[in-house]
């Protein structure tokens, strides 16, 4: 029996396995990985498209989620080049972990708003209505910026909310309202605008007291700092701001 081919064959399987794993992570060309808060999904998708058109050869890869989840991933070394958070406190996590290159700059602001299904089955017309017993209120988890903002809104209004669920990010809250499963959800003005006819807005009185700031920064682990900085500069430019304001964001 010839043992050499058999040993060679034995090595093939693990080698192929590792090669496939390695191949999955590499990519040619200039790529900028951008982690952005869930509430920035439609706007950053559009901004990335415009940036790529103006800068051929650079590819923007977007990753949306709860800012606290994204911050945790970045501090644990995720290969992210740009981070756009929905609150200064989640950005502070990244700064404290020395993962930020330079100081974060606030590029837009946002305001909380209540969203209800178009038929408004629970007849929610004010913040107080949303805190009624028996209402299926869905909020973000307190660790996410939209959850922290929601807690502040209710605290300032001296109301105690009784949520039936605390979602990891604002998109999950919005989808529960769109599906008609939740009677009301606390999201941002921009989310309600982006959802169009899928939800109805219920403005919150004195919401201007709970305006949240969105900072953006290039990370220290950025593989391509030049392109990453160029993208951040584009987001903060007049063209970028015009697109963001069109979506309902407030200027910085």
Partner 1 sequence: MTRGRRVPATLLVPAAVAAAFLLIPLLGLVVRAPWRQVGTQLQEHDVLTALRLSLECASIATALSLLVGVPLAWVLARVEFPGRGVLRALVTLPLVLPPVVGGVALFLGFGRNGLLGGALADIGVSLPFTTAGVVVAEAFVAMPFLVVAVEGSLLAMDARYDEAAATLGASRWFTFRTVTLPLLVPGIAAGGVLCWARALGEFGATITFAGNFPGTTQTMPLKVYLALQDKPDAAFVLSLLMLVVSITILLALRGRWLARWT
- In the complex, the residues that contact partner 1 under the rule CB under 8 A are 6-7, 9-11, 13-14, 17, 66, 68-69, 71-72, 76, 93, 136, 138, 141, 143-144, 163-168, 172, 176, 179-181
Name the minimum Å distance from CB 93 to partner 1.
8
CB of 105 to partner 1, least distance (A): 24
Q: Residue for token digits 């403005």?
A: 203
Q: Which residue, 115 or 189, is less far from partner 1 as judged by CB? A: 115
Confirm if 25 and 51 have CB atoms less than 8 A apart: no
* Residue 92, CA atoms < 13 Å, CB-side half-sphere: 5
Smallest separation, CB 127 to partner 1 (Å): 20
Token pair belonging to 186? 């606390």
By C-beta, is 7 or 25 nearer to partner 1? 7
Q: Which is nearer to partner 1, 181 or 224 (CB)?
A: 181
CA distances from 240 to 40, 44, 78, 198 (A): 12, 9, 26, 26
Residue at token pair 């923007």: 60
Closer to partner 1 by CB, 102 or 142: give it: 142
Helices marked H in the chain — which ranges? 3-25, 41-54, 67-75, 88-96, 127-130, 145-156, 170-178, 189-195, 225-235, 238-246
State the nearest-atom distance from the C-beta of 116 to partner 1, in Å. 14
Q: What is the closest distance, in whole angstroms, from the C-beta atom of residue 71 to partner 1 in the complex?
A: 8
Alpha carbons 173 and 140: distance in angstroms, whole number: 7
For residues 111 and 172, which CB has a smaller minimum distance to partner 1 in the complex?
172
């Amino acid at each position: 029996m010839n043992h050499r081919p058999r040993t060679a064959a034995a090595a093939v399987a693990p080698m192929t396995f590792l090669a496939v794993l390695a191949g999955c992570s590499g990519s040619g060309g200039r790529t900028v990985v951008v982690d952005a808060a869930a509430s920035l999904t439609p706007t950053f998708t559009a901004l990335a498209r415009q940036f790529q058109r103006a800068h051929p050869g650079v590819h923007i890869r977007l990753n949306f989620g709860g800012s606290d989840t994204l911050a945790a991933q970045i501090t644990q070394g995720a290969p992210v080049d740009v981070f756009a958070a929905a609150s200064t406190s989640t950005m502070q996590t990244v700064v404290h972990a020395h993962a930020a290159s330079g100081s974060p700059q606030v590029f837009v602001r946002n305001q909380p708003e209540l969203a209800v299904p178009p038929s408004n089955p629970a007849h929610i017309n004010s913040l107080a209505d949303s805190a009624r017993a028996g209402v299926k209120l869905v909020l973000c988890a307190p660790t996410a910026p939209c959850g922290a903002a929601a807690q502040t809104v209710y605290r300032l209004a001296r109301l105690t909310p009784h949520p039936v669920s605390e979602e990891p990010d604002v998109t999950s809250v919005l989808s529960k309202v769109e599906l008609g499963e939740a009677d009301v959800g606390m999201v941002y003005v921009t989310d309600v605008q982006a959802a169009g006819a899928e939800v109805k807005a219920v403005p919150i009185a004195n919401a201007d007291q709970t305006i949240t700031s969105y900072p953006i920064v290039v990370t220290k682990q950025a593989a391509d700092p030049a392109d990453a900085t160029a993208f951040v500069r584009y987001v903060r430019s007049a063209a970028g701001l015009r697109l963001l304001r069109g979506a309902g964001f407030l200027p910085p």
